[in-house]
Amino acid sequence: MADPATTVRVDVAGRTLALSNLDKVLYPATETTKGEVLNYYMRVADLLLPLLAGRPVTRVRWPEGVGGISFFEKNLPSGAPGWLPRQVVSSTGSRRSSPEAVGHDTVTFPLVPDRAALAYLANLGSLELHVPQWRLDAEGEPRNPDRMVIDLDPGPGAGLRECSRVALLVRERLSAIGLVLVPVTSGSKGMQLYAALPGVHSSDDIRAVAQQLAQDLTAAHPDLVVWKMTKSLRPGKVLLDWSQNTAAKTTISPYSLRGRELPWVAAPRTWDEVEAGAATDGALDQLMLDDALARFDRLGDLAAGLRPADGPAGPAGPPRHDRDAADA
């Protein structure tokens, strides 16, 4: 239970939340506090929430900051308030009634439809928010994916310049089949490329397309691209990780913070920036929290093309109550 002396009660989206230890430093290298993390998530909520809506959210939590212990959390947090939406999902990412899901465990995930849910999770030290490429339908079952992701992971001796070069190759190939890509520097080492999909193909279908792309680019550019995860193949090259399209896998959501030494952000970028990054070392860097906020204010939502065309999805949440407190 949070110390009442260090707790502030605030209204967020019609809920009363008890936010604790706002002065706690979560990123010692920059002295970034929990209050600043919460402020970041509230300022980007209009950009982030449409990308989380209807998707089960896996969190990576650093309760004592990035210098302390961290852990992945899929299940609903212990003591979660009754108003926080949640859904039981097969751990395979398949429909619970499908043959692929039989005999597998289920997970009760939180859903994040609004600022109150986002603030509640951030207050628990959930710096990173990871989601699958599919959304839930009204019955709480996984739909077909509405996004493809190409994860570009640089090996030793490679960096964002090499990722940018590969990103341009991927854009050329996928634009030929009508896909519009959104580049996102990951807030870690590399980059993700996202494309909105109509939701008519299965995760297996999308993964197969991504794998074939990775194999084709490896064959055409063996000095730059690798499609296998074998460590000995990776120095100086970029792994085109096609497997992130597997139904059971998740990727960091655009606009999420990262739990690294510095408060980096998974930040959507422009293709002009990627082209500059491919041409010149150091022209494209990961973005920290303050710089990312300034960009978002100036440029708006560079990931708007990933917003679901049919609006929010997912099952209806539990009934609302006029006032609910959430301590952490």
CATH number at 254 reads 3.90.920.10
Residue 320 falls inside a structural domain: no
**Structure-token pair, residue 203:** 């995760």
pLDDT, tens digit, 9 for 90 and up, residues 134-171? 999 999 999 999 999 999 999 999 999 999 999 999 99
pLDDT, tens digit, 9 for 90 and up, residues 259-293? 999 999 999 999 999 999 999 999 999 999 999 99
Residue 100, pLDDT above cutoff 80: no
**What pLDDT shows up at residue 316?**
58
pLDDT, tens digit, 9 for 90 and up, residues 34-51? 999 999 999 999 999 999
Task: Give 187's contacts (C-beta < 8 A, 6+ positions apart).
Answer: 252, 256, 257, 258, 260, 264, 265, 266, 267, 286, 287
List phi, psi (to 5°) of 91. -65, -15
**What pLDDT shows up at residue 73?**
97
Percent of the chain past pLDDT 90, that is, above it, reads 85
pLDDT, tens digit, 9 for 90 and up, residues 163-177? 999 999 999 999 999
The H or E element containing residue 90 is: strand 86-90
Residue 77, pLDDT above cutoff 50: yes
Percent helix, strand and coil across the chain, each to the nearest 5: 30, 25, 50
Is the Cβ–Cβ distance between 148 and 133 less than 8 Å? Answer: yes
Residue 325 falls inside a structural domain: no
Residue 51 falls inside a structural domain: yes
Per-residue CA distances from 27 to 31, 35, 220, 290 (Å): 6, 12, 42, 13
Residue 154 falls inside a structural domain: yes
Between 96-110, 144-158, 164-178, 217-231, the lowest mean confidence (pLDDT) is in 96-110
Residue 152 falls inside a structural domain: yes
User: 296 lies in which domain range?
Assistant: 4-306
Residue 126, pLDDT above cutoff 80: yes
The H or E element containing residue 20 is: strand 15-20
Residue 314 falls inside a structural domain: no
Average pLDDT over the chain reads: 92
Residue 317, pLDDT above cutoff 60: no
Distance in angstroms (rounded) separating the CA atoms of residues 16 and 11: 4
Residue 85, pLDDT above cutoff 60: yes
Distance in angstroms (rounded) separating the CA atoms of residues 2 and 7: 7
Residue 318 falls inside a structural domain: no
Residue 322 falls inside a structural domain: no
Number of domains, the chain: 1
Q: What is the pTM of this model?
A: 0.92
